Amino acid sequence: MIIKSSTTLRNDYNSISQLVHEKGEPVYITKNGEGDLVVMSIDAFHKREAILDLKEKLLFAEEQRLSGQATTSLDDIHKRLKGKING
């Protein structure tokens, strides 16, 4: 975990930006010794959002499965995909 002060962010934005891009992880910004912000690159943000979206979809699918809703077998999905690929 990378932690920097708000003073560092204010006085040396470029080094924080470079650090975020190089490490590919968020930097936690403190204000008066307490956590205040998290700074991350746009790429990291989009990846995080995509992962959260996928997890939400998987949770919804699992809830449907557990509630007894009809499912499709892996073989059927494979056949459908193969049919779409082969046109």
pLDDT value at position 70? 86
Q: Mean pLDDT across the stretch 48-73?
A: 93
Structure tokens at 43: 């790429």
* Pair 32, 7: CB distance under 8 Å: no
pLDDT value at position 35? 97
Q: What is the residue extent of each domain of the chain?
A: 2-40, 44-86
pLDDT value at position 73? 86
Could you read off the pLDDT of 9-57 as tens digits, one per residue? 999 999 999 999 999 999 999 999 999 999 999 999 999 999 999 999 9
pTM: 0.70
* Pair 65, 73: CB distance under 8 Å: no
Total Cβ atoms within 10 A of residue 65: 11
